[in-house]
Structure formats: structure tokens, C-alpha cells
Structure 1
Amino acid sequence: MEAIRLEFKSEIKEKILELLSSFSSDELKIVQEDPDFDANKKKLDAALAKIKNGTAKFYTIEEVDAILEETISKYEN
């Protein structure tokens, strides 16, 4: 199956859904889009750019463990 993204005015949503409902579930599946898709995509694109240009900060497992232990100890009491 292929997927496309549609943007439309809210006034025509009912008409679009009526048209799409004429297809069988084998032919068409309506998938709700993640409302945070664009924001998440921007964040991921920025992170990828940092990785590609060499400015991303990477941590070892030991460093992450130390950071988590420090953070947890702040909020334990």
C-alpha cells in the first residue's frame, strides 16, 4: 500500500471521509497522523545535522549511568 498526507480545511472533512468510506478496507485504510509529527521531525533533523557535522555529544554507557545516578539521587528524598 502507498500512503499520502492530505491537508484540507475542516469544513470539507465530512465530504472527504464520505468519499473515502466508499472504498473497502482492503483498498483503503485511514491512519491518524501523529499531531506532533512536524515538531518531532524538526528535532530529529537537527540532531541528525549535529551528528553529520561532528558537533553531536556522545556518551558511553558508564557516563549515562553516572548522569542517571546523579539525577535520581537529587530526587530520592
Structure 2
Amino acid sequence: METIRLEFQPKIKAKILELLSSFSSDELKIVQEDADFNKNKKMLHARAAKIDNGTAKYSTFEELDVLLEETISKYED
């Protein structure tokens, strides 16, 4: 299947949904967009830019293990 994103005026939503409902579920699946999509996209682009320009901060496996252990112990109680 292919995916497209549509932007439309709210007043035509009923017409669009009426048209789309004429297709079977094998032909068309309506997927609700994640409400945080644009926020997540912006954040990921910022992180990718840090990787590209060399300003990203990396952790060793050992540092990550310590951080995870501290986080787990904080919520175990």
C-alpha cells in the first residue's frame, strides 16, 4: 500500500470521508495522524543536525548502564 497525507478545510471533511468510504478495507485504510507528529519531526531533525555538525553528545555503554540502573532504582520503591 501507499500512504499520502491530505490537508483540507474542515468544511469538506464529510465529503472526503463519504468518498473514501466507497472503497473496501482491502483497498483503503484510513490512518489517523499522530497528534505529536510535527513536534517529533522537528525534534528528530534537530538531533540529526547535531549529529551532522558534530555537536551531538554520545554516551558509552557503561554510562548508559549506570543511568538506566539509577532510573530503575528510583522507580522500584
- Shorter-chain TM-score: what band? 0.7 to 0.9
Q: Residue 50 of structure 1 aligns with which residue?
A: 50
- The TM-score with structure 2 as length reference comes to 0.82
Cα distance per residue 1:9-65 (max 9 Å; x no partner) = 222111110010011112111111111111100100110111111110000121123
Distance 1:30 1:65, change over 3 A: same
Unaligned segments of structure 1, at least 5 residues = none
What CA distance in whole angstroms lies between the structure 1 residues aligned with 2:5 and 2:37?
12
The whole-number CA distance in structure 1 between the counterparts of 2:21 and 2:59 is: 50
Matched length:
77
Ranges in structure 2 where 5+ consecutive residues have no aligned partner: none
Counterpart of 2:60 in structure 1 is 60
- Which piece of structure 1 moves more, 44-53 or 59-68? 59-68
Provide TM-score, normalisation by structure 1. 0.82
Q: Aligned residue for 1:5?
A: 5
1:15 to 2:11 alignment:
no
Go from structure 1 to structure 2 and tell me whether the alpha carbon gap of 1:18 and 1:58 turns closer, same or farther (over 3 Å shift). Answer: same
CA RMSD of aligned residues (A): 1.9
